[in-house]
Protein backbone atom coordinates (compact mmCIF):
# COMPACT_ATOMS: atom_id res chain seq x y z
CA UNK A 1 0.00 0.00 0.00
CA UNK A 2 1.35 3.42 -0.98
CA UNK A 3 0.62 6.43 1.21
CA UNK A 4 -1.05 9.41 -0.43
CA UNK A 5 0.67 12.76 -0.49
CA UNK A 6 0.43 14.39 2.89
CA UNK A 7 -0.46 11.22 4.72
CA UNK A 8 3.07 10.49 5.99
CA UNK A 9 4.99 13.61 5.05
CA UNK A 10 4.79 17.32 4.39
CA UNK A 11 2.41 18.70 1.81
CA UNK A 12 3.41 20.92 -1.16
CA UNK A 13 7.14 20.17 -1.04
CA UNK A 14 8.80 21.35 -4.28
CA UNK A 15 10.30 18.68 -6.50
CA UNK A 16 13.98 18.55 -7.42
CA UNK A 17 13.15 19.82 -10.90
CA UNK A 18 11.30 22.82 -9.47
CA UNK A 19 14.19 23.59 -7.11
CA UNK A 20 16.70 23.42 -9.95
CA UNK A 21 14.57 25.75 -12.07
CA UNK A 22 14.21 28.19 -9.18
CA UNK A 23 17.98 28.23 -8.60
CA UNK A 24 18.48 29.20 -12.26
CA UNK A 25 15.85 31.97 -12.05
CA UNK A 26 17.32 33.35 -8.81
CA UNK A 27 20.82 33.35 -10.33
CA UNK A 28 19.59 35.19 -13.43
CA UNK A 29 17.64 37.69 -11.32
CA UNK A 30 20.69 38.36 -9.14
CA UNK A 31 22.92 38.82 -12.18
CA UNK A 32 20.37 41.17 -13.75
CA UNK A 33 20.09 43.19 -10.54
CA UNK A 34 23.87 43.51 -10.24
CA UNK A 35 24.18 44.67 -13.85
CA UNK A 36 21.34 47.18 -13.35
CA UNK A 37 22.98 48.59 -10.19
CA UNK A 38 26.35 48.87 -11.94
CA UNK A 39 24.83 50.65 -14.95
CA UNK A 40 22.87 53.02 -12.72
CA UNK A 41 26.05 53.89 -10.81
CA UNK A 42 27.93 54.41 -14.05
CA UNK A 43 25.15 56.67 -15.37
CA UNK A 44 25.15 58.81 -12.22
CA UNK A 45 28.96 59.06 -12.43
CA UNK A 46 28.66 60.12 -16.07
CA UNK A 47 26.06 62.78 -15.21
CA UNK A 48 28.22 64.17 -12.41
CA UNK A 49 31.58 64.21 -14.22
CA UNK A 50 30.79 64.21 -17.94
CA UNK A 51 33.37 61.47 -18.39
CA UNK A 52 32.60 57.90 -19.39
CA UNK A 53 34.95 56.61 -16.71
CA UNK A 54 37.79 54.08 -16.77
CA UNK A 55 39.90 56.64 -18.64
CA UNK A 56 37.55 56.52 -21.64
CA UNK A 57 36.28 59.71 -23.24
CA UNK A 58 38.88 62.08 -21.86
CA UNK A 59 42.10 62.08 -23.83
CA UNK A 60 44.11 63.55 -20.95
CA UNK A 61 42.99 60.84 -18.51
CA UNK A 62 43.58 58.11 -21.08
CA UNK A 63 47.18 59.16 -21.76
CA UNK A 64 47.93 59.81 -18.07
CA UNK A 65 47.01 56.22 -17.27
CA UNK A 66 49.79 54.97 -19.55
CA UNK A 67 52.39 57.54 -18.51
CA UNK A 68 52.10 57.00 -14.76
pLDDT at 13 over 90: no
Q: How confident is the model at residue 26 (pLDDT cuts 50, 70, 90)?
A: very high
Could you give the CA distance from residue 61 to residue 50 in angstroms, rounded to a whole number? Answer: 13
Quick one: pLDDT at residue 2?
A: 57
What pLDDT score was predicted for residue 27? 98
Burial of 61 (C-beta count, 10 Å sphere; 0-12/13-18/19+): middle
Residue among 64, 65, 45 at smallest CA distance from 53 = 45
29 in Cβ contact with 35 (< 8 Å): no
Percent of the chain with pLDDT over 90: 40
- To the question of pTM greater than 0.85 for the whole model, the response is no
Contacts of 22 (CB under 8 A, 6+ apart): 14
Amino acid sequence: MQPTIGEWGPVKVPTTKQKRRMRIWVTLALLGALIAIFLLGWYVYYLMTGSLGFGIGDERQFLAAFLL
